[in-house]
Amino acid sequence: MTWTVDEHLALTASEAVAAIQSGRLHAADYVATLLARAAALSSLNALTTIDLDGALAAARRIDALPAGEKARLPLAGLPLVVKDNINTAGLPTSAGTPALEGFVPPTTAPSVQRLLDAGAVILGKANMHELAFGITSTNLATHAGAVRNPYDPSLIPGGSSGGTSVAIAARIVPAGLGTDTGGSIRIPAALTGTAGFRPSVGNGGAERRYHDPHAVVPISHTRDTVGPMARTVADLALLDGVITGASELPVVALNGLRIGLPAPLWAGLEQQIEKVARAALSQLRAAGVVFVPVDMSELDLLNSMVGGPIAVHEAHDDMRDWLIANGAPVQTVAGVAARIASPDVRAIYDEVLADTLGTRYAEALNVWRPRLQQYVAATFADERLDALLFPTTRLAAVPIDDINGSSVVSIDGAPSIDTMDAFLRNTDPASTAGIPGLSLAAGMTASGLPVGLELDGPLGSDRRLLAIGIAVEQVLGLPPAPVI
């Protein structure tokens, strides 16, 4: 059959794979359309590297396979982008920082390799907040520049995986990979109307297939993880299944599902966010979901005792080990820090080099983090909850600050607060506890900006959480494509 450009761009990852497997769609034609789309939308700054020749060659190899072999590839011909801090042999991995510009690592991250082995095609590397230490994706270091939200290019897309989310929302690719330390997958998913998944970390199970300390330019081995991003939750489940080797998803019915509403994460929301989120609750309640208010009054305090000390302390040694293991052109953390271009990231690395939170690290890791994990686990158990639900971010996308990279924001005229703190508040506790978190589209504000809802599940409940997300998404629907 003959496909139009619009039909190519509308395909979800699952739809594209099915069409290529059946022979109805040529992978090379599809990839060529998306490469043209990437070139046409270069002003969004979503990508730092485009592998035009490599992607087309890989697609042609898929097309040349016998029909039976092609049909057995779970991701046959699927074009993806990979965040620029995830190792890819043959393509640069710079983490958006000058000291690593143009560096090509010797190996490919295991998560990426599993996707390639399943037939995926890497279209390019995605732009990001410098060194992943930020939530705006306003990168002042790369040639690409600040990543721009396709729903309004004057606004941030969220970060640090902003390039991946923008490429997906703008229909440059149907899916990709990001990384998440405190919200870096879920925040940009929320602000761009896409879906993003942070897998469990620390349960010793399938999540280990995402987690390799030498395969990703690191912040914290305790908190970092690779994760899939896409336009639908079903596509997240597709990529997750390939990476983890997981079996089919469980069947989940919304009727009777018990979902907790944690009070601290519903407080202090921007009015336009709360309006969309409350409307989503009404739709889900009508579908039979049982919402359970949960106090969780200790959540903020427990989380504040853990996240910062772990990330700031681990960042030094983890980065040093990555530089050495990969033969990077700069072999010291001080050497990387000396060339940081973004003021907000430079300030954080000053703390990393000085180890300003080092004296709190052992207690944060060995006392406060287990206490937070026990608190969260008890909430799920005591209230017999299938998941927690809350707005992924307290506010919608804000204007890009091209001078400082990060600044302050005000929520409905309240006193200004730090931009990173404002956007991280709701996503960070799941990261700290290591539980799985899923952001999906909840709807649009009156001004046309996407709003995300986050579902968190108990540790190790990844596949069931994705199944719940699919059921929720079927009720709430998908946002309209951006007009660009």
List the catalytic residues: 83, 160, 184
**Residues paired with residue 228 on neighbouring β-strands, in sequence order:** 177
Which alpha helices (H) appear in 172-246, and where do they start and end?
186-192, 233-244
Burial 421-442 (b: 16+ CB within 10 A, else e): ebbbbbbbbbbbbbbbbbbbbb
Angle, helices 462-476/233-244, rounded to nearest 10 degrees: 160
User: Is 44 in contact with 153 (CB distance < 8 Å)?
Assistant: yes
Separation of alpha carbons 182 and 432, rounded Å: 7
Nearby residues of 284 by Cβ (< 8 Å), 6 or more positions away: 254, 259, 291, 472, 475, 476
**Centroid of chain to Cα 216:** 14
Nearest Cα to Cα of residue 188 among 462, 423, 457: 423
Structure token pair of residue 244: 């983890």
In the chain, the N- to C-terminal Cα span, in Å, equals 27
For residues 343-364, one letter each, b for 16 or more C-beta atoms within 10 angstroms of the residue's C-beta and e for the rest, the string is: ebbbebbebbeeeebeebbeeb
Cis peptide before 161 (omega within 30 of 0): no
Residue found by looking up tokens 């396709």 in the block = 150
**Distance from C-alpha of 15 to C-alpha of 141, rounded to nearest angstrom:** 36
Q: Describe the crossing of helices 233-244 and 110-117 by its angle, rounded to 10 degrees.
A: 100
User: For residue 12, which amino acid is it?
Assistant: T
